[in-house]
Structure 1
């Protein structure tokens, strides 16, 4: 065969030659290019005609496209058009090959990431192949993550976020069917290229959640995308969006976490046990374990978001009102589980932003009943939505309904405890939500015989001893509260703050700590040293700004410090006499370091970094620990517990406040130990058998001081039956008369009775 014919027919060989010398083999390439154009026209009419050869031509041109950029300028658009317009007519092999070649063209720099993603995004809801869907999803996430590795690629992020917004908005005009009629939902298309109304929006939410989880996107724009998904007509899209804000785990679609998790340590250890032990195997095992731990640690550090999603919501009041409108409008179409999801998000947004949605407290009343399914979760939502700016008039009907439904002699102790705990959590956030007569009746349940009811009633009593002891009877106020009332201490009325915000709590401790550190180091507090310390303190805490907002920030504004422009942060009014006893207990330790009435000037001379706030929290924990050790009381203990919880949550990477959210456990309270199931009983039996022989007793020779052999009686028990058939004892039993058998049985019965007495 001539060499020229061989080059033309053998595409891999021709591909290799073209990459070495594109100019010399341009005619051969143009011949294949014309051949590709003719087959492409035939393929659009009849996709089954020469499908294998067409796939080979596509791969060949993709490999050498960078060598002839002018001739192949339209080639990427050919592939995109073929996928998007004729997707239903293509075979699975052709689809996968075209997608792979488009990714190759992007890697070679022939097309940009935006052009690639514009083709891949519409394919996700259309494809029915799990392999192709996983490949497309992995490609999208990897491409966006790589583009934002060193710095934020704002151009790509804005383009991708605009596409995701469009994917959700296109289905917003649909009819809300709810999740009760799951069989009425539109079935997924079986490969014809059509898209279900919720599939496109679902993938937009899934990809946004994944990029947020990986730490690629951490600003308000992805939060707005998922917030829009909360009001999508598809209940599945709503559920995925709600779970994002609630922070709960829900798996959607195919997972691509395998590449980040690394090797499975348990499987490697098992493989090492069953295979031959060698030094090289041990070395590989240690290397794999080290690599897996490193990847897991890097993944956990990288996926930490800068700000919680709830705090980045745009116009949270409108968002909360839309949630309530959707909840009340489609109450009959949503299942109870879905409505509870909406209630949970509504309550958390209301609590986080101090919002007021008065209609929610009327809506939830119909679910406040002890026989209602999942009532602990509903009560947790009710208590979660309350804050110090919630009007007490809107809460009093709910509290009265709680007392009437849950707290009366006709229900069980667990129901009464749940009702008392719910009222306590509501009153903890708004002490004026309960009437004085009702409070007196509820406090009497502290004399109950049930432990859970007693604990709940005592918790309610202790709460009002701290926040509003005047509502309690005189004998129930306690010593500390009675002394406070006699000194004129009164709770703040509704809508009033306890004290003006004139300082940052714990800032005095930080100022004294920094001063002590300078004295130890012997360094004067100069401006240059302070600037260097500030620069070092911001390492690892910097947040990059969006380039689109650069025009709005025009630098620092100089403020004059002379004359009338001075900012006076001091307060001549002494707030100490009006502070409550619990604040005085906690501040006793801080008073040892500085005067409680002293205001720190550190915030006016230094920009506080996140590291400074972390140090403030540590110093407050130390001060609270000293207050507890010095007899600070229950208020100091609760203060210490809350500070430690905040530090634990911050160290774990979770942005939520530990005390902000209420769980069902808080409503149910301490409960009696439930009956153990089969697995727990088996585990208990196995634990009791540890350290002893099977079916053996520890009595006998094992407890003797000197070891001895077994007795003849013990040996006789273990003898085979045929060895003792001829013994006197067995023969004597066989020859016994009826009278002798009766006497022997009577003697046995008498002996057994004596042993029992």
Structure 2
């Protein structure tokens, strides 16, 4: 009897004994289990009574649940139902304790990940505690990452993605209020429901974005969840989803990212100067400075999320729905939100070469030089144009740009922005330009402003390359005139170029490999190709079973195989005096790896550099610049289409005034490799080093020491006669010095 009373009063001791010998202490456990059931019934009616004792019992049973699986089979479902049904009436400590014990049961494999997540997902948007919200979010992400660590857990992923879809879909039927309808939303009858749906969808987007960023989910279903959230009636959810596709690191107020705030280095150093100097304080300061330096070094520049754009399902429908929402709720959305939607719509149109012709009619009303954030709007316009966009839809837009931005009544920066915008539009669709308008725009190359001149020359150079026939004879240039004389014409709208016969510069790679064989005796074996594929992310997009079976043997009986005689024709052509460029046969004898293409690009850059050094002219310089730009884009993983920055629109501008950090960085850079600043008098300039004189030392004495010196007191007590003698002596000395 005494033993039972002792174990009942000391649950941690009973927990320790049960883990050592579950069979011997089963009766004591059943006693506590019955006690838990009775208190649970009371707790449902009066949550405030015996809350602390109820938490202790729940923690005890969670610890020993693996020892008695049959008796505690209903325990996880009881905790889950208690959380979901009575969450609003539970105390904060009780909520946190129940969630932690539920996570403990998952760690002990008492419940599955799906059962845990089905309970945590509904709680996440309802909780108001930042600590509990952060704990739930970390638990969800860790559980999914652990399940997909060795191999993809498709069952769990599909179940979680279905839950996230449901969290987003439950709020899609609401009314779109927009940024300007926040005040009306707070007074409406459906405020709680809409707010709950918004929070629920917001957390679905946050979790999907985090799993994508960590590389756990990289499939099309993750993109579909966030794409669906782009049409959610709550603008906060829309904004978070749009930022995912744009690749911008927009901070979300409710995301509770536990990232450190920006460290104020100047404030730390100032605090160190005024506080007491201690060794521990110096260590703390150095630790904070190192952390700030590491954070600045690891900070990445945001770039467009092109993989997500490529995985969109039915991008044409997605773009049309975006335009419909933008056009329908134009007066409800703020300007910043409308620009976000414009940027996403333009990226999708440029990436997939879509035609949403109503967008150009919509954007015309925002093309004014007094419009707020007009550079971002011009960027969205340029990104939406591609070679399949009908010129008839773009020509009015180009004319509007010229009328609003390019005329003598505006500043030089406005003219430069207008010319650069027209150039970016015409780069993607040259047939949208009119010949008379082009002549007027090119005349601005005679302007005195550097930015305007550069923009006009860029437009002139563009049409020298794409369609020189639209230029006057004296403006075409030598190379363009020669191309026109030879009969070359630009392809009309809707026509594609002929199929490529050879890879440009492939002969350079063939000569380079042959040179290696001749000089070093290198023999390229079959294993070299396998090694060249290392470090390159190459995955097969085919889902067929025959895709991994390797090469297939083709029978020679009954198959009509035509062998091209292009090599013979090329040899005949090279023997003629008017021979075309050499066609390399390397691609027919070797499978080119990504490493080969990288080497090919380097060889082309080296060849273009030699041509420029030998006086190749402006055409060679432009070709070299294009090759270097393509190399940077390949290294950065960016795609060629539709990424335009506001700097491309604004063009070169005067250098802005540097801030404090930039000025200090410039000062420190100028001090590199130089001795410490000090005066060159005394021992520095003398051949033999010596100390300073007494007169130099007297200059640095404190004022109170000088006032009490004999020389100063003697001057104060000097008589009139002594002052006259000192003045006469000074005058005589000055006369002698002038002689």
**Same fold by TM-score greater than 0.5:** yes
1:495 and 2:517 correspond: no
Separation of aligned partners in 1, 2:306 and 2:513? 28
Residue 130 (structure 1) aligned with residue 135 (structure 2): no
SS at match of 2:370: coil
Tell me how far apart the structure 2 counterparts of residues 689 and 107 of structure 1 sit (CA, whole Å): 57
Asked whether the 8 Å contact 1:167–1:200 carries over to 2, the reply is yes
TM-score (norm 1): 0.79
SS in 2 for 1:197: helix
Q: Please say if 1:184 is aligned against 2:180.
A: no
Query: Offset of 1:409 from its aligned partner?
Result: 1.0
1:344 Cα deviation (Å)?
0.8
Change (3 A) 1:108 1:647: farther
Structure 2 equivalent of residue 560 of structure 1: 554
- Return 486-495 or 699-708, whichever deviates more: 699-708
1:620 CA drift (Å): 4.0
Shift of 1:647: 3.8
Evaluate the alpha carbon distance shift between residue 338 and residue 32 of structure 1 in structure 2; reply closer, same or farther with a 3 A threshold: same
**Residue 404, structure 1, aligned to residue 389, structure 2:** no
Listed one character per residue, the Cα deviations across residues 182-217 of structure 1 (whole Å, up to 9, x for unaligned) are 33345999xx99962211111111111111111111
Query: 8 Å contact 1:138–1:256 — kept in the other structure?
Result: no
Alignment of 1:584-603 (within 5 A): 596-598=581-583, 600=585, 602=587
In 1, Cα distance between equivalents of 2:140 and 2:166: 17
Deviation at 1:657, TM superposition (A): 2.5
- Structure 2 residue 43 is matched with structure 1 residue 49: no
Alignment correspondent of 1:320: 319
Give the distance between the partners of 2:588 and 2:111, measured in 1 at CA. 51
Query: Does the CA contact (< 8 Å) of 1:642 and 1:658 recur in 2?
Result: no
Q: Alignment partner of 2:65: what SS?
A: helix
Q: Deviations over 1:407-453 (max 9, x none)?
A: 11111111111111111111111111111111111111111111111
Give 2:625's match in structure 1, choosing from 615, 619, 641. Answer: 641
- Separation in structure 2 between the aligned mates of residue 194 and residue 10 of structure 1, nearest angstrom: 48
CA deviation map 1:499-520 (0-9, x unaligned): 3245555555555555665667
1:552 is displaced (CA, Å) by 9.4
Of 636, 643, 653, the match for 1:661? 643
- Find the aligned partners of 2:663 and 2:152 in 1 and give their Cα distance: 55
Q: How many pairs does the alignment contain?
A: 687
What TM-score does the superposition give when structure 2 sets the normalisation length? 0.81
In 2, distance between residues paired with 1:631 and 1:321?
51
Q: What is the CA deviation profile of residues 80-138 of structure 1, one whole-angstrom value per residue up to 9, with x for unaligned ones?
A: 11111111011111111111111111111111111111111111111000000000011
**Mapping of 1:378-527 within 5 angstroms?**
378-505=377-504, 509=508
Corresponding residue SS for 1:251: coil
Q: Take 1:730 and 1:692, find their aligned partners in 2: how far apart are those partners? A: 52
> Residue 709 of structure 1: CA displacement?
8.2
Instruction: Note if 1:370 corresponds to 2:357.
Output: no
Alpha-carbon offset, residue 14 of structure 1:
0.8
Measured in 1, the distance between the counterparts of 2:206 and 2:659 equals 38
Query: Is the Cα contact below 8 Å between 1:701 and 1:708 reproduced in 2?
Result: no
Aligned 8 A contact 1:188 1:196 in 2:
no
- Structure 1 residues 569-584: aligned runs within 5 Å: none
Tell which deviates more after alignment, 248-257 or 6-15: 248-257
Change (3 A) 1:79 1:518: farther
Give the deviation of 1:332 after TM superposition: 0.6
Instruction: Please say if residues 510 and 584 of structure 2, whose CA atoms lie closer than 8 Å, have aligned partners that are also in contact.
Output: no
1:638 is displaced (CA, Å) by 3.9
- Which residue is 1:736 aligned to? none
Q: 1:105 maps to which residue?
A: 105
Distance in 2 between residues matched to 1:430 and 1:501, nearest whole Å: 22
The question of whether the paired residues in 2 share the 8 Å contact of 1:503 and 1:599 is answered with: yes
Q: Deviations over 1:561-600 (max 9, x none)?
A: 75424586969999xx9xxxxxxxxxxxxxxxx9845255
Shift of 1:30: 1.1
Q: Is the 8 A contact 1:343 1:381 kept in 2?
A: yes
Q: Is the 8 A contact 1:215 1:305 kept in 2?
A: no
Contact persistence 2:245–2:304 (CA under 8 A) = no
Q: Which moved more, 1:372-381 or 1:639-648?
A: 639-648
For 1:66, what is the secondary structure of its paired residue? coil
Kept in 1, the 8 Å contact 2:247–2:305? The answer is no
Describe the shift of the 1:126–1:553 C-alpha distance in structure 2 as closer, same or farther (beyond 3 A): farther
5 Å-filtered alignment, 1:542-557, equals none
Q: Is the Cα contact below 8 Å between 2:246 and 2:303 reproduced in 1?
A: no
Q: Deviations over 1:18-68 (max 9, x none)?
A: 111111111111111111111111111111111111101111111011111
- 8 Å contact 2:423–2:459 — kept in the other structure? yes
Distance (Å, rounded) in 2 between the aligned partners of 1:635 and 1:523: 37
Change (3 A) 1:146 1:635: farther
Secondary structure at the counterpart of residue 59 of structure 2: helix
Quote the Cα distance in structure 2 between the aligned partners of 1:311 and 1:254.
26
Instruction: Compute the displacement of 1:629 (Å).
Output: 3.7
Aligned equivalent of 1:738? none
Cα–Cα, structure 1 residues 729 and 198, in superposed 2: closer, same or farther, change >3 Å?
Answer: farther
Kept in 1, the 8 Å contact 2:507–2:582? The answer is no
How far apart, CA to CA, are the structure 2 residues paired with 1:80 and 1:386?
53
Between the aligned partners of 1:441 and 1:505, the Cα distance in structure 2 is: 37
Q: 2-side partners of 1:10 and 1:484: how far apart?
A: 96
Equivalent position of 1:121 in the other structure: 121
Report matched runs for 1:738-757 at 5 Å: none
Give ranges in structure 1 of 5+ residues lacking alignment.
578-593, 734-757
Instruction: Determine if contact 1:168/1:204 at 8 Å carries over to the other structure.
Output: yes
**Residue 247 (structure 1) aligns with:** 247
The change in CA–CA distance for 1:714 and 1:231 in structure 2 (over 3 A counts) is same
* 1:153 shift after superposition: 1.5
The match for 1:199 is 199
| Alignment RMSD (CA, Å) | 4.7
Distance 1:147 1:515, change over 3 A: farther
What does residue 754 of structure 1 align with?
none
How many angstroms does 1:361 deviate by? 1.0
Q: C-alpha offsets along residues 273-329 of structure 1, whole Å, 9 cap, x if unaligned?
A: 97659xxx99xx99x999x989x99x99xx999972111111111111111111111
User: For residues 537 and 23 of structure 2, what CA distance do their matches in structure 1 show?
Assistant: 50
The C-alpha deviation readout for 1:680-705, integer Å capped at 9, x for no partner, is 789989999999999x9989999899
3-state SS, counterpart of residue 84 of structure 1: helix
Q: 1:167 matched to which residue of 2?
A: 167
**Per-residue Cα deviation, 1:620-668 (whole angstroms, up to 9, x for no partner):** 44444444444444444444434434444554xx542367411111111
Cα displacement string for residues 217-259 of structure 1 (whole angstroms, at most 9, x for unaligned residues): 1221211111111111111111111111111001223455669
In structure 2, the residue matched to 1:139 is: 139
